[in-house]
Amino acid sequence: MKTLLRGRQQEQRALKLLRQNGLKHVDSNYRCRHGEIDLIMRDGDTLVFVEVRYRRSRNYGGAAASVDRNKIRKIVKTGLHYLQHHRLDTACRFDVVAIDGDGEPQWIRRAFEMA
């Protein structure tokens, strides 16, 4: 339960950062059979799928490095599912908000592309 609560707190920190930078909140914790997307935002005409990663420390590479190929594949498939499910034909991108320990969230725009 502590882990789930900590995850939600970090998602709120990420949401605050993104809103402060002008993005509009569309959806949270979108799930389908492929996986989950933590935050879905709108940046002008672009739909932004955001993965929020938290690590207590930077050991083993930290939060940003924890987004591996397998996770990227799941996020992309889930993003495509979201677009199809909502019948959207819009530009989109994939961002990561990485948080290490008590440090400030690091927003990585265009962290990866659809392959």
- Two tokens, residue 64: 């940003």
Task: Report whether pLDDT(2) > 80.
Answer: no
More reliable by pLDDT, 10 or 4: 10
| Structural domains of the chain in order of their starting residue, each with its CATH number | 2-112 (3.40.1350.10)
- Two tokens, residue 58: 């930077």
- Residue 19 pLDDT class (50, 70, 90 cuts): very high
pLDDT digits (tens, 9 = 90+) for 44-86: 999 999 999 998 877 777 898 889 999 999 999 999 999 999 9
Task: Compute the Cα dihedral for 7, 9, 12, 18 and give only its sign.
Answer: negative
Mean of all residue pLDDT scores within the chain: 91
The pLDDT of residue 1 is: 59
